[in-house]
Amino acid sequence: MRELTVDLGERSYHIYIGEGLLNEADTYFSKHGISNKSPLLIITDTNIAPLHLAFLEERLQGGGFKAFSAVVPSGEGSKSLSMLEELIAKALDAGLDRKSTIVALGGGVVGDLAGFVAASFMRGVKFVQIPTTILAHDSSVGGKVAVNHPKAKNIIGAFHQPEFVLYDLNLLQTLPPREVRSGLSEVVKHGLIWDASFVQWCEDHADRLLALDADSLGYALHNGCSVKASVVSQDERENGLRAILNLGHTIGHAIEAVGGYNGLQHGEAIAIGMVGSAKLGVRYGAPEEVYTTTKRVLAKCELPTALPEHFDVDAIMEAMMHDKKFAEGTMVFIVPSAIGEVEIKSDVPVAWVREIVEELKLEVEQL
């Protein structure tokens, strides 16, 4: 079992990573002072509920906790204010009070939604995260929670740190291969911004990660979480440094937006975005190796590294213009200067970005 601490002063918390942790869920809940007098509410989705909900409820009820549950439809559509209203109704019906806890059992969508329920119910109650995807290692550190507005993603939210995170590697065994790859994209990102040796390790262990080898997964998640924890503990509310976590995300979000819900997955889109950022880095004088290594490690994880032919450059540029990071003629970009090192450039010419996006369409996939 691996363990790490996200250091945020009085809001610090532990992340436990290991096989079979769900079997001892009640022990972890007790150890962290979760009330067994006030009811708690597990929020999960229609994908995860049939796989793991009954087991978790049993463990918690067996440990004397008053566990209730709510199941939301899987997918981004559940991150809405109307779902928040429904879940608050569930919480009230189950008799939750200010000493109650909200538990997120799921991936990023469930974590974001349940986290915002926890942040806003009675102005904030305790929150526990039990991630069920690799990608969720990213959202399990840093306390960003939110729902969507019809006009913008993640625009209504809070910073609300969990009491602890219980990462049971066994829950990852049922992940569809595409979600495995998508999750690895954020793992690699954490290496690219912070730790060259971890990038090398990812390249060497990509096969084992794709095969869901528990020990490799545990190491990768521990390192990914550690990098994010280091960044977040220096800048909890994203006043500066935390922005480096957005490596690949400006182009990536635009690719996602243009692709629509049935386009590329988040991890796939940011993989292409990270190749773009690496190319930008080389333009700014980084060694060519930044680009070749970025592309190679992502390809090893079976992630796309070129923009599919049918994407329209104009549409992608327009989607980027709507991004918060844009200002007259220049853009803010996270740009690698070496493997494991990035800089925040605030005056990247839009023209350069367009050229990079055009080049991304001409990239040859390295498989």
Is 186 annotated in a binding site? The answer is: yes
- Nearest approach in angstroms of CB 28 to a copy of itself is 24
The active-site residue, picked from 47, 90, 246, 256, is 246
CB 13 within 8 Å of CB 164: yes
328 is catalytic: no
> For this structure, is 205 an active site residue?
no
Distance CA(190)–CA(196), nearest Å, equals: 10
Distance CA 144, CA 122 (A): 18
Half-sphere exposure of 221 (CA within 13 A, CB side): 35
To the question of whether residue 74 is assigned a binding role by annotation, the answer is yes
Residue number with CB closer to a copy of itself (116 or 198) = 116
Establish if 97 lies at the interface with a copy of itself (CB under 8 A): yes
228 is catalytic: yes
Active site residue 52: no
- The answer to whether 109 is a known ligand-binding residue is yes
One of 23, 75, 237, 312 touching a copy of itself (CB under 8 A): 237
Identify the active-site residue in 181, 249, 279, 295.
Answer: 249
Catalytic annotation present for 253: yes
Site string (102-131) toward a copy of itself, x via CB under 8 A: -----------------xxxxxx-------
Task: Considering only the stretches 153-161, 306-314, 343-351, 353-361, report the one whose residues sit in contact with a copy of itself under the rule CB under 8 A.
Answer: 153-161
Type of residue at 11 = R
Q: Which residue has the tokens 């204010």?
A: 81
Contact between 152 and a copy of itself (CB under 8 A)? yes
Contact of 301 with 220, CB cutoff 8 Å: no
Q: Is 346 in the site for a copy of itself (CB under 8 A)?
A: no
Choose which of 33, 54, 58, 81 interacts with a copy of itself (CB under 8 A): 81
| Half-sphere exposure for 25 (CA within 13 Å, toward CB) | 28
**What is the size of the binding site for a copy of itself (CB under 8 A)?**
28
344, two tokens: 């925040």
Tokens standing for 309? 């032919």
First to last CA, the chain: 34
Q: Are the beta carbons of 53 and 43 closer than 8 angstroms?
A: no
Using CA atoms, how far apart are residues 113 and 119, in angstroms rounded to an integer? 10
Would you say 48 or 232 has its CB closer to a copy of itself? 232
Residue 232: phi, psi to the nearest 5? -65, -35
Q: What is the DSSP string of 148-206?
A: EETTEEEEEEEE---SEEEEEGGGGGG--HHHHHHHHHHHHHHHHHH-HHHHHHHHHHH
Residue 106 assigned ligand-binding role: no
In degrees and rounded to multiples of 5, residue 197 shows phi and psi of: -70, -30
Please identify which of the residues 186, 236, 256, 268 carries the catalytic annotation.
186
The single residue among 106, 107, 131, 157 that binds a copy of itself, judged by CB under 8 A, is 157
Q: Which residues contact 171 (CB under 8 A, 6 or more apart)?
A: 22, 51, 52, 130, 131, 132
146 binds a copy of itself (CB under 8 A): yes
Of positions 3, 20, 54, 324, contacts a copy of itself by CB under 8 A: 324
Binding site feature residues for Zn(2+): 186, 249, 266
Query: Which residues contact a copy of itself (rule: CB under 8 A)?
Result: 81-82, 84-85, 88-89, 92, 97-98, 119-124, 144, 146, 149-152, 155-159, 237, 324
State the catalytic residues: 123, 144, 186, 228, 238, 242, 246, 249, 253, 266
Binding site feature residues: 74-79, 108-112, 132-133, 144, 153, 186, 249, 266
